[in-house]
Amino acid sequence: MRTRLQRLTAVAGLAICAATGIGAVPATAAEVSACPDVDLIFARGTFEIPGLGIVGKPLLPALQRALPGKSVSAHAVEYAASFDQSSAGPGATEMTRQLTRRAAGCPGTKFVLGGLSQGASVTDIAVGVKSGLGSGEVVPDDLADRVVAVVAFGNPLGGLYRRTIKESSPTYGPKALELCNVGDPVCGGQGTRGPGLGHLSYGMDGSVDIAAKFVAQHYN
């Protein structure tokens, strides 16, 4: 399973390198206030440089537009995003610990968890969805209500196991959105979006706006 995913993500990852520039300085996530109304914790895809990545970066302003009058910040999950996918489990642990730290310091803040590609696997594991892509710390049950939405882009859970967060998690399924473009082999290519849209287009094909509207509905 992992070998197949490695082949798929290798192509996607090389394209990410070309699109973003491995030597570029990673963008710093904007923070509106020390304790915002909503905090996005996002995991980038394989091969992406540290930071929010090609989807998380445009998702932040999309959330700010979708939640007028609310302060929205974002934090990137710090993990290796390695080619062999073995960093998904440690990434989930880091995502969980980030949420736990932020929740303790900001008791009024709500959270959005999400990721692209391997970052979606990070998110799967953090919300307790088991797969063959590793294991890590899971968001504590007492913080589940503060996670208002889970958004996954190009989730390997679909490509490898034909499963979704929605059907795999009684807790997070009702507030999970998974976007998978037709023709995206990483997530199975069955598609929630139209043909011709691939694994690297989620940040610029309108998917982030769909995700932001979904988050706003669940926040409100």
Tell me the catalytic residues: 117, 184, 199
Query: Rg (Cα) of the chain, in Å, rounded?
Result: 16
- Assess contact for 25 and 172: CB atoms under 8 A: no
Sort 100 into a burial class: Cβ within 10 Å, 0-12 / 13-18 / 19+: middle
- Assess contact for 45 and 117: CB atoms under 8 A: yes
Sign of CA dihedral 39, 117, 1, 88: negative
